[in-house]
Homo-oligomer: A and B are copies of this chain.
Amino acid sequence: MNAFGRNFRVSIVGESHGPAVGVILDGVPAGLTLALEDFLVDIERRKGGTQKGTTPRKEDDLPIFQTGHFNGKATGAPLTILFENKNTRSGDYEKQRAVPRPGHADFVAHQKFGGFEDFRGGGHFSGRLTVGLVAAGVVAKKLLNANSLNADIKVKSTILEIGGEADLEKGLQKAIDAKDSIGGIVECRVEGLPIGLGEPFFDSIESLLAHAVFAIPAVRGIEFGTGFAAARMFGVEHNDAIENSTGKTTTNHAGGIVGGISNGNELVFRIAIKPTSSTPKEQTTLNWESGEKEIFSVKGRHDLCIALRVPVVLEAVTAMVLADLMMQAGQISRVLP
């Protein structure tokens, strides 16, 4: 299944080189204003801007409200947002079918789907599908701020490092110099969350966020608050002392979550993004028809550093999860004024 959520449910559909990609959002409150303009900034952010290292493939990427949208607002019925795939060059991929691209899902997709998968440009596995997630995120971020608590909730992701460098230009230059792709680390912070979202155990905020976050291609790890460093700390160092009756803590090693539940402090987590699988460098792979090893080199258009595009996608899946939890808690109404 390619769907997630209980009361706000997101389904992702489409293929890189099919007619369209998109999302179906079920449970969107009626009355939420949704104009095309609301989507443009985040869709642009996903393209990685004019920074070095992003792919030259360009799509207009204008959201098409196919269902659930009327007079500029959500109707309360399932909201379908599609993005046409206009600028595809399938010829890049078809000849190479028996030669799985290293690091890509080509081989497992072929095994899992028996060769019936749409293999063009990664098909349903393509990072292209994250444009749908971004659209879901635009809706979810708007919902978060239509909460009935009047809480000012801000979801913000930033790149912390590229190739180990906090100076991002330097990190990218490393990749350019090496004629190779490179990974990075992205952080997400959420301010203004109420206390009490999440449940102990299976519906912990960490469980739900991690579930959604690992839907983003290329993510290899997630850590909350102090994260892996906590494994080397003493208890007294790590525990956050409560300062006052609002639950504010002096430190925030817990990243805003205890017992699986938001504690009213800033939510903080980081994710690791692997280097783009498609790299300009030559690699060895197996031709499964001939059984021979082959030298593989990327012809298509690709990013040197996929992490550059991740922040807006990370905000999107984060907002999705939090909007669902706030709806479950009755903090976002089913009809907005």
A25: min CB distance to chain B, Å = 10
Q: Which residues of B contact A195 (CB under 8 A)?
A: 108, 111-112
Binary contact track A29-55/B, C-beta < 8 Å → 1, others 0: 011000000000000000000000000
Measured in the bound complex, the distance between the Cα atoms of B225 and A287 in whole Å is 25
With A207-B210, A228-B220, A228-B228: A77-B123 Cβ-Cβ less than 8 Å: yes
* Chain A stretch 186-225: residues in CB contact (< 8 A) with chain B: 195-196, 199-204, 206-208, 210-215, 217, 219-225
Is A100 on the interface with B (CB-CB < 8 A)?
A: yes
* Chain A stretch 259-300: residues in CB contact (< 8 A) with chain B: 259-264, 272-279, 281, 283-286, 288, 291
* Chain A stretch 138-178: residues in CB contact (< 8 A) with chain B: 161, 163-164, 175, 178
Q: Which residues of B contact A275 (CB under 8 A)?
A: 230, 233-235, 237-238
Question: Among B109, B203, B222, B229, which residue has its beta carbon within 8 angstroms of that of A2?
Answer: B203
With A220-B231, A231-B164: A1-B26 Cβ-Cβ less than 8 Å: yes
- How many A residues, CB 8 Å from partner? 147
The complex is assembled from copies of this chain, and their number is 4
Q: Which residues of B contact A223 (CB under 8 A)?
A: 220-223, 228, 272
Q: Which residues of B contact A239 (CB under 8 A)?
A: 102-103, 277, 279, 283
| Besides the known contacts A230-B275, A236-B281, 17 further A-B residue pairs in the complex with CB atoms under 8 A apart | A2-B200, A102-B239, A103-B235, A107-B263, A108-B196, A116-B335, A161-B231, A181-B234, A202-B215, A207-B213, A208-B211, A210-B213, A210-B214, A233-B274, A241-B285, A242-B286, A330-B333
Closest B residue to A219 by beta carbon equals B206
Measured in the bound complex, the distance between the Cα atoms of B75 and A18 in whole Å is 12
Is A24 on the interface with B (CB-CB < 8 A)?
A: yes
Question: Among B21, B107, B329, which residue has its beta carbon within 8 angstroms of that of A247?
Answer: B107
Closest B residue to A76 by beta carbon equals B113
Contact B183 A230 (CB under 8 A): yes
With A2-B199, A77-B2, A220-B226: A13-B68 Cβ-Cβ less than 8 Å: yes
CB pairs A–B below 8 angstroms (21 shown):
A3-B26, A7-B7, A11-B11, A14-B80, A15-B67, A18-B66, A18-B70, A24-B24, A31-B113, A103-B239, A105-B260, A111-B196, A161-B231, A178-B234, A204-B214, A210-B214, A217-B259, A228-B228, A230-B274, A235-B281, A239-B279
